[in-house]
Structure 1
Amino acid sequence: MSAESSGVFTLKEINRIKIIQDVIERRITTRRAAEHLGISDRQCRRLLARYREGGPLGMASRRCGMRGNRQLPPGLADQALELIKTRYADFGPTLAREKLEELHGLFLGKETVRRIMVRAGLWVPRKQRAARIPQPRYRRPCTGELIQIDGCDHDWFEGRGPACTALVYVDDATSKTDGTVVC
């Protein structure tokens, strides 16, 4: 049901009707009406012609009751959600979108797929995810219980000898180096 048949207007449309009626009754000019409405003089004349042609009901938005330009066709989101639930529940939105396009011929935007997955509870936005706190690794209580060894390949002798690896032995309990070897 459109606004034209029901007679329901928005406040903006009611304001337009009042101003256009003032133009018809010659209280204000079309130029002044255009300034009040924030439109061009030419658009104001178009509105005036629509009012004369259809009266106040002719001023209602003709888009009322129609599907939006960016709205998905009916059933497409449900079809995509069903495929995602059955086959791609563990995928992220980008990969799920690519698979829907490649294998099923459903052309949806990444953000559309993300929104569908968030509403279905298949994807949690990054800001809402629980922070991963790494488990701390405490130092060993006794000396010699754990020795960490680290090595580094480098031209330690700056071309005066062969390239070597420096090995360092560090005790976990005391953080002291137990030895260093260049081999």
Structure 2
Amino acid sequence: MKKEVRYLLNDKQINRYRVLSNVIEGNLKPCDAAKTLNLSERQVYRLIKGVNIEGVTSLIHKNSSKKPSHTFDDDFKQNILELRRSDNYKDSNFTHFRELLVEREGISISYNALYTLLTSNGFKSPKKRRKSKNHNRRKRKSRQGMLIQIDATPFEWFEGSVKYALHGAMDDATGQVVGLYMTKNECLHGYLEVIRQMVLTHGVPTCVYSDMHTIFRSPIAGKVSVEEQLKGKSINKTQFGRAMEELGVSLIYARSPQAKGKVERLWNTLQSRLPTDLKIAGVTSIEQANEFLADYIASFNSKFAVEPEEAISAYTPLPDYLNLDHILCVKFDRVTDNSSVFSVHSKHFMVVGSPELPEVPKKSKIHVIISTSAGIKVEYQGNVYDTINYIKPKKSNDSKGKSKSKYIPPDDHYFKYGSDKFKKLYFDESYEEVLAILQEIFLRKYA
């Protein structure tokens, strides 16, 4: 074999030529050569014929020096690489980048081809993959609406180092996202808005699966002994727990993040995709993000949701006699004075009568309803009354001591965050006090 030809052959072709040469020289039978090369005897005769006519070059595939017809041209590949380097696409993972190429650029390419192109040019996917472990996963619920997993995650959703909390709920049976809402920190307002989205869009589920955050479960719930429980001691429900009870929803607590793994994996997917989608849409604030998420949910579910095992839904419609604003709220028990005035969060309010409703008697036990959508109202014997701000006369003080300076929180204090979240429901002289109560209740940080 000539030295120049030898460089054109690989090790397999060289070994094949040596075996065929022994057959041609009579040192080896064709049947033995077929066993050695793991070929049929007919194939061995065909190769021998080619070597006799064309020489050793017959063992080289005829397409080895030709460019495949389906190969991408250089301009096509260069265009994809330039898009990958652009500010909009540089942080997306490879699968998401491929979807964006189809949806926004009209470029169709398989994942394997894209992966090879990007990795060969030094690009790495920001979504690292660990070696998967075998887990005994809990089987999905058979019907949608049987179990809703709920959680929140802080993340840098916009460019910068500031983290915002995204609250979400997903159906266990289908993996369908049923609610997304973003706030500055994990708070009661975010979870109630997620529940509101779910009930209005799908209905009331059977169970909600959450962690042991103090929004869902009282911090002293696990400290009551068996003896105290037998004596009748009970722990008051949180405002979220009370709302779920009024909706007829069972609240289940997970003891570990792995127990509600589906919603935890949802955060991995959203953290990989949503920042890129927000950047492309030009979204830079929480208000814009919540408007964007309303349409984003449907697009996300079309890609990741699956069909349930049973077609019958476990969601139930909200009964007509229930007002969602009077359930997804905060409720306190108070007693009115002789002037139908009560206090809440160190502020005083007066019950406003109505010709259609019976008068609230003096010294009556009432339920105060505080809602981000309805403001502050009073419930008495199944009837709901409006309230107005009431300023009690100040007691005379003859002491000439120094007056205390009023503390004014800074602009970045979380009590002040969300001043535009709640619509103006009261007169100018009372709105600021009501707004302070709403912010303190719904947007405060929980331990």
TM bucket, shorter chain? 0.5 to 0.7
Offset, 1:71: 5.3
2:97 counterpart of 1:96: yes
Offset, 1:101: 3.4
Offset, 1:123: 3.1
Distance in 1, Cα, partners of 2:73 & 2:56: 32
Equivalent residue, structure 2, for 1:7: 6
Equivalent residue, structure 2, for 1:17: 17
Equivalent residue, structure 2, for 1:174: none
- Structure 2 segments unaligned to the other structure (5+ residues): 131-152, 156-185, 187-213, 215-237, 250-320, 333-366, 368-381, 383-447
Distance in 2, Cα, partners of 1:74 & 1:120: 17
Distance in 2, Cα, partners of 1:59 & 1:154: 77
Equivalent residue, structure 2, for 1:31: 31
Distance in 2, Cα, partners of 1:124 & 1:90: 7
Verify the 8 A CA contact 2:93 2:126 in the aligned structure 1: no
Question: Aligned runs of 1:71-86 on 2, under 5 Å?
Answer: 72-86=72-86
Verify the 8 A CA contact 2:93 2:127 in the aligned structure 1: no
Q: Structure 1 pair 113/64, CA: closer, same or farther in 2 (3 Å)?
A: closer
Offset, 1:44: 0.8
Offset, 1:72: 3.9
Verify the 8 A CA contact 1:92 1:123 in the aligned structure 2: yes
SS at match of 2:129: helix
Q: Percent identity?
A: 19
Verify the 8 A CA contact 2:47 2:59 in the aligned structure 1: yes
SS at match of 2:74: coil
Verify the 8 A CA contact 1:33 1:44 in the aligned structure 2: yes
TM-score, with structure 2 as normaliser: 0.27
Distance in 2, Cα, partners of 1:100 & 1:155: 45
Aligned residue among 149, 157, 178 for 2:239: 149
Distance in 2, Cα, partners of 1:61 & 1:36: 21
Amino acid of the residue matched to residue 17 of structure 2?
A: I
Aligned residue among 122, 125, 128 for 2:127: 125
Q: Structure 1 pair 74/50, CA: closer, same or farther in 2 (3 Å)?
A: farther
Verify the 8 A CA contact 1:96 1:113 in the aligned structure 2: no
Q: Structure 1 pair 7/68, CA: closer, same or farther in 2 (3 Å)?
A: farther
Offset, 1:104: 4.3
Distance in 1, Cα, partners of 2:117 & 2:16: 38
Verify the 8 A CA contact 2:101 2:107 in the aligned structure 1: yes
Amino acid of the residue matched to residue 11 of structure 1?
A: D
Question: Aligned runs of 1:101-116 on 2, under 5 Å?
Answer: 101-102=102-103, 104-116=105-117
Equivalent residue, structure 2, for 1:49: 49
Q: Deviations over 1:69-116 (max 9, x none)?
A: 875443432221113333533444344324433554432113433454
Give the structure with the larger helix fraction. 1
SS at match of 1:62: coil
The two structures, once aligned, show a CA RMSD in angstroms of 4.2
Distance in 1, Cα, partners of 2:59 & 2:128: 45
Q: Structure 1 pair 168/47, CA: closer, same or farther in 2 (3 Å)?
A: farther
Q: Deviations over 1:44-72 (max 9, x none)?
A: 11110110012223323434344468754
Distance in 1, Cα, partners of 2:118 & 2:19: 47
Q: Structure 1 pair 62/115, CA: closer, same or farther in 2 (3 Å)?
A: closer
SS at match of 1:126: coil
Verify the 8 A CA contact 1:34 1:40 in the aligned structure 2: yes
Distance in 2, Cα, partners of 1:40 & 1:58: 18
Verify the 8 A CA contact 1:50 1:58 in the aligned structure 2: yes
- Structure 1 segments unaligned to the other structure (5+ residues): 140-147, 157-161, 170-180
